[in-house]
Structure 1
Amino acid sequence: MKNLIFLLSILFTFSCNSQKKQSKKEENKFTNITSKVLEDAVLAGGKLIRVTAFPSKNITPRPIDVWLPENYSSAKKYAVLYMHDGQNLFDATTTWNKQEWRIDEVATKLMKEGTVKDFIVVGIHNIPKIRWLDLFPEKAMQHLSEEEISEAQSISKTKVALKDFKGDEYLQFLVEELKPYIDKTYSVYTNKENTFVMGSSMGGLMSMYAISEYPTLFQGAACLSTHWVGAMPRENNPFPKAIFKYVSENVPDANSHKIYFDYGDKTLDQFYPQYASKVDSIYSSNGYSAKNFKNLFFEGTNHSENAWQKRVHIPLTFLLKK
């Protein structure tokens, strides 16, 4: 009996030491990541914190912005919304087209009203030259023939091969590198029920891809002006067929997820209405209803941050409603 107790005490000590080492290792992972408050950011509320070049073994390092709401406090927990194209979210004075999503304005208003749960926003900047390769749902390429894959070269300034697509690596970065850092650094809930993803255009595709690939990590996804055409619109486009094949085979469980889509009919959005019935069919046939699925049409709206800012309160409320 004494030997058994002695053995158990050794095992317990070993287990505790292993946990401490693992915890120390996790802490050390982030010691080289430095951030700063953007004091000159033009915001309606809260504050913006930036990691200038977030290190990654999966994708090209890039800036990460973290928006904290007014009166952010470590004494409480917050939900987390991950967003693509992070440089276009908060401050129009710094964007290429002088437009923004106005996420800080809308989020501040919704939280003050008590409409949504308290949350922070993590904006992943894009790198324009490789944005398409980063945000394309990579596994959809498996549904293309070799001839169709070769057509991808016509929409890129450089020769494109399958290895150039980084959608899977982008998601690995998000869930294996960025999320652990956010979970460790900020006072947030880490469970699926409080983790969401949102984007527009190719970012809409990637948000769909994120919740499809990692349904145990994301409860909800909002996909605005989702770029179902996959690349530049053209005749005999093989990408929509491949994307929808992937979508239909990877629908997250309707009992524990929320998915939002929308589209307009002007500029690039004019190519999206033709796919609305297909989107509706896939999700409704997999158990989704008005309670946890939306695919909304905004007539007369175009493909721009100005258009998305006018309706972003709808997906935010849909995903984060108290």
Structure 2
Amino acid sequence: MIRLIAALLALIGLAAPLAAQGQGRFVEYQNVSAAGLPEQRLSIWLPPGYDADDRRYPVLYMHDGHNLFDVTKSNFNKIWAADKAMLAVGASGKVEPHIIIGIWAPGVDRHRQYLPRSLYDMSSGNLRDQMDGMTKGGVISDRYLEWIAGPLKSWVDASFRTRPGRDDTAIIGSSMGGLMSCYAFFERSEVFGRAGCVSSHWPAVDPRTIDEAELKGLWDAWFAAHLGQPDGRRVWMDHGTATLDQYYAPYQQVVDARFAAAGWQKGRDWESRVYEGAEHEENAWAARLPEIFGWLLAKD
């Protein structure tokens, strides 16, 4: 499978570089085949100096890759500016530059690709019905995770000068991508040593149409089953207080309490921040991304 993916990418070839922005080098792969998934696409940022030396780099995988770097390819004419954030924290000396692997969301399949399969399997009744309504075609996040942690990571590590170990591999996303990042972090704890769960869409569906108490109980049980011990890992969580983010506090409080009860040390193993007035959108995430990188990816 790994050889098949690598061969396919080699046949696709390196597309024209993305529009130059800041420093570093952007490359893009289109029409990437992944077993059991919609067609995938990658936008990759290589840090400044990558082509001038032989050092190896830690790797950051990010969901919604179309919204990370190039405003002309974004959904809402807004981006995270992830390359600029990485340059900023790198200049501080507190964070090593990371290769960023931006994985585009597959359009209408985004929800079913990002909804954690294990949470879906725990759901029932009205919540399960609503999940089914939003994931037409069935939940495939388990396949997506296996692809990232398996064939994709193997290809990245073989194609670029990476440091492939757990402590040098991070994953970050927002909204449903925040849920997906938490899912990846806990289900594949041997692969991902850092996770950023930004404005995670804890309601999973429309927050106005579900039983809040039921879903809080579901998340509490999910984290109780998955947390384990930190073992040197680190996870960042946050949310704003406006637009869609206004619904997240009750769920985040349950999650925070579960981390504390499990013995994870806040400020060292996990962080949870509230940004007053921040909305559920890319400009808000871009504004705090240097802070996220600075804590989550800091050198030990």
Instruction: Mark yes or no: TM-score above 0.5.
Output: yes
Per the alignment, residue 166 of structure 1 pairs with 140
- 1:92·1:98 contact (CA, 8 Å) conserved in 2? yes
Q: Spell out the pairing of 1:68-217 with structure 2 (5 A cutoff).
A: 68-73=46-51, 75-146=54-125, 148-153=127-132, 155-156=133-134, 160=136, 164-217=138-191
Number of matched pairs: 293
Q: State the distance in 2 between where 1:75 and 1:167 align.
A: 35
Q: State the distance in 2 between where 1:285 and 1:234 align.
A: 29
Q: Report the AA paired with residue 286 of structure 2.
A: Q
Q: State the distance in 1 between where 2:282 and 2:4 align.
A: 38
Q: Report the AA paired with residue 134 of structure 1.
A: Q
Pick closer, same or farther for the CA change 1:32–1:143 going to 2, 3 Å: closer
Q: Report the AA paired with residue 201 of structure 1.
A: S
Per the alignment, residue 197 of structure 2 pairs with 223
Question: What secondary structure does 1:39 align onto?
Answer: coil
Computing the radius of gyration from Cα coordinates, the structure with the larger value is: 1
Question: What secondary structure does 1:133 align onto?
Answer: helix
- Percent sequence identity is 27
Q: When the two structures are superposed, what TM-score results if normalisation uses the length of structure 1?
A: 0.85
Q: CA RMSD in A?
A: 1.9
Question: What secondary structure does 1:36 align onto?
Answer: coil
Q: Say if 2:279 is the partner of 1:305.
A: no
Question: What secondary structure does 1:123 align onto?
Answer: strand
Question: What secondary structure does 2:264 align onto?
Answer: coil
Greater Cα offset, 233-242 or 275-284: 233-242
**What are the Cα deviations for residues 94-142 of structure 1, in whole angstroms up to 9, with x where unaligned?**
2121100011111112223322012100011001211110000111122
Q: State the distance in 1 between where 2:166 and 2:206 align.
A: 34
Q: State the distance in 1 between where 2:20 and 2:251 align.
A: 37
Unaligned runs of 5+ in 1: 1-24
- 1:44·1:105 contact (CA, 8 Å) conserved in 2? yes
Question: What secondary structure does 1:231 align onto?
Answer: coil
Q: Which runs of 4+ in 1 moved over 4 A?
A: 25-29
Q: Say if 2:264 is the partner of 1:288.
A: yes
Q: CA deviation at 1:306?
A: 0.2
Per the alignment, residue 20 of structure 1 pairs with none
Q: CA deviation at 1:61?
A: 1.7
Q: State the distance in 2 between where 1:35 and 1:264 align.
A: 40
Q: When the two structures are superposed, what TM-score results if normalisation uses the length of structure 2?
A: 0.91
Pick closer, same or farther for the CA change 1:129–1:241 going to 2, 3 Å: farther
